[in-house]
Amino acid sequence: MERLLSVGEVAERLGTTDRFPRRLIEERRIAFVKVGRHVRIPETALAAFVAANTVQPVTRSRRLRAVA
């Protein structure tokens, strides 16, 4: 069984406050598990969320200078 993270642990890993993961849960933008009244986020769901929202840098090709 994979590790389930609390809202506080997810916030710490993302470098945010608790409010951000709670908003993700409320908007159903990240998978979560309800354990009684507690909400937990699987590590794989957090990794998938980060991967899906990672923006790759733009690589620019070198411009060739025209020789006059």
Report DSSP state, residue 18.
T
Residue at 63 is within a domain? no
- Which amino acid does the sequence have at 38? H
* 65 falls within a domain: no
Please give the pLDDT value at position 59.
Answer: 83
Asked if residue 66 is part of any domain, the answer here is: no
Strand partners, 38: 35
Please give the biggest Cα pair distance in the chain: 74
In a domain, 64, yes or no: no
Residues 22-63: tens digit of each pLDDT: 999 999 999 999 999 999 999 999 999 999 999 998 887 766
pLDDT at res. 67: 66
Cα 2 from chain centroid?
17
pLDDT of residue 66: 66
The predicted pLDDT at position 64 comes to 65
- The residues, any chain, with a CB within 8 Å of residue 32's CB and separated by 6 or more, are 25, 39, 40, 41, 42, 45
Domain that holds residue 39: 4-52
Count the domains in the chain: 1
Confirm whether 60 is domain-assigned: no
Residue 59 counted as domain residue:
no
Give mean pLDDT, residues 12-30. 97
Q: In what order do the strands lie in the sheet with 4-5?
A: 4-5, 38-42, 33-35
Position 68 scores a pLDDT of 61
